[in-house]
């Protein structure tokens, strides 16, 4: 699974460590040391994954993620010294796909990289999955495209995985733990509130009135279910 990985890290020594580990696994690593350079490199070289430090000069990582989410669905793995749940949820709310706090093990970082690349590249090996249709919502697991009422919706890899899991079994009630397992496996560093953030973001994208969701409905005390939208119309 060779990939082009952009590393945006303002500490040159740390960036070099990440580069060595990436290259040891067969990846090509591009290094930048500020947020503006990260945005320029993403637009110029279109990498497969961005490893993004939050605390960077010129443009910080949160703003980089905010800008990128308006332009692409590039997978983003955030690195930060901030470790509170609020910081984690803020990063995910802005569109990050994973979040690793410092200090971290380089081996764990590589495991996260492998997981993200495996999820985002799965569409290249699947050829027979049909488009999943739930009312006016269409989820294509091959092209990883979401459309609602004929309008294409840009989703992060994490958001897409949640939606595709539910679209495969409409009307089924999923617990947060089940949705978490379907997207990230048994990752002890990610909480179930991650799913709440993904659902909140998806509602903003697919619902006519996000505060009164027709598709992504909450089942209080249990979790969420995806319906055809007729109940909320």
Cα distance between residue 4 and residue 29, in whole Å? 6
pLDDT tens for the chain, residues 1 to 233: 689 999 999 999 999 999 999 999 999 999 999 999 999 999 888 899 999 999 889 998 889 988 888 888 889 998 987 666 666 667 777 778 888 888 889 988 998 898 888 877 654 443 444 788 999 999 988 788 999 988 999 998 888 989 999 998 888 888 888 888 776 544 444 567 888 999 999 999 999 999 999 999 999 988 999 998 876 55
- Both tokens of residue 92? 């995910």
Is residue 39 within 8 A of residue 64, CB to CB? The reply is yes
Measured in degrees and rounded to the nearest 5, phi and psi for residue 95 equal 115, 5
Residue closest to 205 by CA, chosen among 213, 193, 196: 213
Measured in degrees and rounded to the nearest 5, phi and psi for residue 225 equal -140, 155
- Both tokens of residue 157? 């890899």
């Amino acid at each position: 699974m060779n990939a082009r990985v952009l590393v945006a890290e303002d500490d040159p020594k740390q960036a070099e460590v990440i580069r060595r580990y990436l290259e040891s696994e067969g990846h090509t690593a591009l290094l930048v040391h500020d947020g503006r350079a990260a945005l320029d490199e993403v637009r110029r070289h279109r990498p497969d994954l961005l490893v993004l430090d939050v605390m960077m000069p010129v443009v910080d990582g949160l703003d980089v993620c905010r800008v990128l989410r308006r332009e692409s669905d590039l997978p983003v793995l955030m690195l930060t010294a901030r470790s509170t749940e609020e910081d984690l949820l803020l990063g995910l709310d802005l569109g990050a796909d994973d979040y690793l706090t410092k200090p971290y093990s380089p081996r764990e970082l590589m495991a996260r990289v492998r997981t993200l690349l495996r999820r985002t590249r799965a569409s290249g090996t699947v050829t027979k999955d049909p488009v999943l249709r739930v009312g006016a919502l269409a989820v294509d697991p091959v092209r990883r495209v979401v459309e609602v009422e004929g309008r294409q919706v840009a989703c992060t890899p994490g958001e897409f995985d949640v939606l595709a899991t539910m679209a495969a079994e409409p009307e089924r009630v999923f617990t947060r733990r089940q949705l978490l397992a379907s997207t990230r496996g048994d990752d002890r560093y990610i909480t179930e509130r991650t799913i709440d953030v993904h659902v909140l973001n998806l509602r903003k994208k697919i619902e006519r009135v996000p505060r009164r969701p027709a598709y992504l409905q909450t089942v209080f005390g249990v979790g969420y279910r995806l319906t055809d939208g007729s109940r909320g119309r």
